Amino acid sequence: MKACGFYPDKANRVRLRAFVLLPRYSGLRIRDAATLSRNRIQGDKLFLHTAKTGTAVYCPMPPFVIEALNAIPENTAYFSGREIQRQKPQQEFGRKV
């Protein structure tokens, strides 16, 4: 975490700190953290759906993680600047060649 404060570009320093904190305290995979859109944070909770059953899940986040995310300038997604449309695994890997 300390190294994030030494990143030369201030704007990216803020994003880098949030990018390290988010997976650490939410358990998100890197891709999921990188493509997280702002509408997934509701108050102090991260809103997700489980992959298996589609059940809605709210993951409470520490205030300093929410503050780090809120410090990032407005975009559709916090880190990628856009949302990535995901394909189902059978669509990605089950295509005929």
Give residue limits of the domains in the chain: 2-84
Task: Please determine, for residue 93, whether its predicted confidence score (pLDDT) is greater than 90.
Answer: no
Distance (Å, whole) CA 20 – CA 33: 9
Task: Please determine, for residue 90, whether its predicted confidence score (pLDDT) is greater than 70.
Answer: no
pLDDT tens digits, one per residue of 27-82: 888 888 888 888 899 999 999 887 788 888 899 999 999 999 999 887 656 887 55
Whole-Å CA distances, 40 to 7, 13, 32, 37, 94: 27, 22, 11, 6, 30
37 phi/psi in degrees, rounded to 5: -95, 155
* pTM, to two decimals: 0.72
Q: 2-84: which CATH topology?
A: hpI Integrase; Chain A (1.10.443)
CB 44 within 8 A of CB 60: yes
Percent of the chain with pLDDT over 70: 79
Of 16, 61, 18, 14, nearest in space to 42 by CA: 61
